[in-house]
Amino acid sequence: MNLSKGDARKSVKAKLAEFTEDIWLKRSQDVSKNILGFLISQNFSSTGIIGGFAPMDDEVNWQLELSDFADKLAFPGTNENGEMIFFHTRYDDLIGTRVFGVTIKSPKADAREVVPDLLLVPGLGFSRTGERLGRGKGFYDKYLKNFNGLKIGICTREQILDQVPTENHDVKMDGLITDNEVLIF
């Protein structure tokens, strides 16, 4: 039986709600180590901007092991039209703002707009072939539609789904990094 996006979101959120603080920390450390290994294997340390996200309570804290890349990061914000764009800034310089309908950490107004070379993409769930289950607002799908860089989904092993319901506007990832594996499609 095929799940709807709403049912798939509820299922993943229920799994993540069972995580203790210790589980989140362990999963976050392992994801971050795998991201670091991927960046080193791709020689990414010498060039490029990494687009990331300020993790919400039910997302891995992916940048824990990436202090060497702190000056190469960019985070999402919005332009005057409410469209998602990325700004070059350190994670420590983000401020709490209301964006995308929730309070999240966002770049300061004076941060420089950039287009990342590599984008680490959050999602509630992913398939092993690159389909992504977002939160349902479409901000990332709209941004990714015209993004030409590498798109890597970031999640825990519990967020890997056998099947992700998709629609025509959904954008597939080029790879996936979890706490226990790195997949490039």
- Give me the pLDDT at residue 75, please: 97
* Cα(152)–Cα(52) distance, integer angstroms: 10
Enumerate the domain spans of the chain.
Answer: 5-184
Q: pLDDT band at 137, cuts 50/70/90? A: confident
Sign of CA dihedral 111, 115, 120, 124: positive
- Provide the Cα torsion 62, 36, 123, 87; round to 10°: 80
Does residue 99 have a pLDDT over 60? no
**At residue 100, does pLDDT exceed 70?**
no
Extract the tokens encoding 131.
């389909």
Q: What is the DSSP string of 108-164?
A: -TTSEEE--SEEEE--SEE-TTS-EE--SS-HHHHHHTT--SEEEEE--GGGB-S--
What CATH number does the domain located at 5-184 have? 3.40.50.10420
**Which pTM was predicted?**
0.93
The mean pLDDT of the chain is 92
Q: What pLDDT is attached to residue 171?
A: 93
Q: How many angstroms separate the CA atoms of 41 and 177, rounded?
A: 13
Please state, for a pLDDT cut of 90, what percent of the chain lies above it.
Answer: 76
| pLDDT tens-digit series, residues 154-184 | 999 999 999 998 888 889 999 999 999 999 9
pLDDT per residue as tens digits for the range 40-65: 998 886 679 999 999 988 999 999 99
* Sequence letter at residue 160: I
Distance CA(95)–CA(75), nearest Å, equals: 11
